[in-house]
């Protein structure tokens, strides 16, 4: 916003980031809950070693993504009155980006697992590659390849 000072800009950007996390967190939490249940089903014992690896990758990446996506809120609470919101914003931004990368990996691993159970490895590899490309483009590629806006 052209009329805001530095403090107002940082405050607004931090609020925007925390609001964006409210969108990502329910998805990662539901995925994690699903992954917590899967090993305790009867069918889990019959999966292949590749499927076990995919499951474990998804499980660990979802756990790590959960930690990274919740970290900005915790960081904010711990540093609330320390007068370093701009540093907090940069840190929270990096944590959020890393969390979404791990979330994309975990979703892709789940896509592989489910597709491999349903249709076997060739289809699983193809669908997973397409899925990973989809996430890479829409979550990162669009933003990275967009030219910078002209300065006002």
| The total number of structural domains that make up the chain | 1
State both tokens at 60. Answer: 């660990």
pTM of the complete model: 0.87
Q: Where are the alpha helices (DSSP H) in 38-120?
A: 49-78, 85-119
In a domain, 1, yes or no: no
CB 67 within 8 A of CB 91: no
- Hey, how many other C-beta atoms are within 10 angstroms of the C-beta on 77? 8
Give residue 103's domain range.
14-38+48-138
Q: What is the pLDDT of residue 54?
A: 96
Q: What is the pLDDT of residue 122?
A: 92
Q: What is the pLDDT of residue 152?
A: 56
Low-confidence stretches of the chain (pLDDT < 50) are none
Cα separation of 145 and 135, whole Å? 15
CB 128 within 8 A of CB 120: no
Q: What is the pLDDT of residue 6?
A: 84
In a domain, 43, yes or no: no
Q: What is the pLDDT of residue 140?
A: 95
In a domain, 22, yes or no: yes
């Amino acid at each position: 916003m052209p009329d805001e000072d530095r403090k107002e800009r940082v405050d607004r950007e931090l609020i925007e980031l925390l609001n964006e996390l409210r969108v990502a967190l329910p998805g990662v939490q539901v995925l994690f809950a699903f992954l917590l249940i899967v090993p305790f089903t009867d069918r889990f014992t019959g999966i292949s070693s590749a499927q076990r690896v995919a499951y474990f990758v998804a499980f660990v990446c979802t756990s790590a993504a959960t930690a990274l996506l919740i970290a900005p809120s915790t960081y904010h609470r711990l540093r609330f009155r320390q007068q370093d919101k701009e540093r907090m914003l940069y840190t929270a931004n990096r944590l959020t980006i890393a969390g979404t990368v791990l979330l994309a990996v975990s979703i892709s691993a789940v896509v592989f697992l489910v597709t491999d159970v349903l249709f076997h490895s060739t289809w699983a590899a193809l669908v997973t590659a397409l899925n990973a490309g989809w996430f890479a483009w829409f979550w990162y590629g669009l933003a990275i390849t967009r030219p910078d806006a002209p300065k006002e």
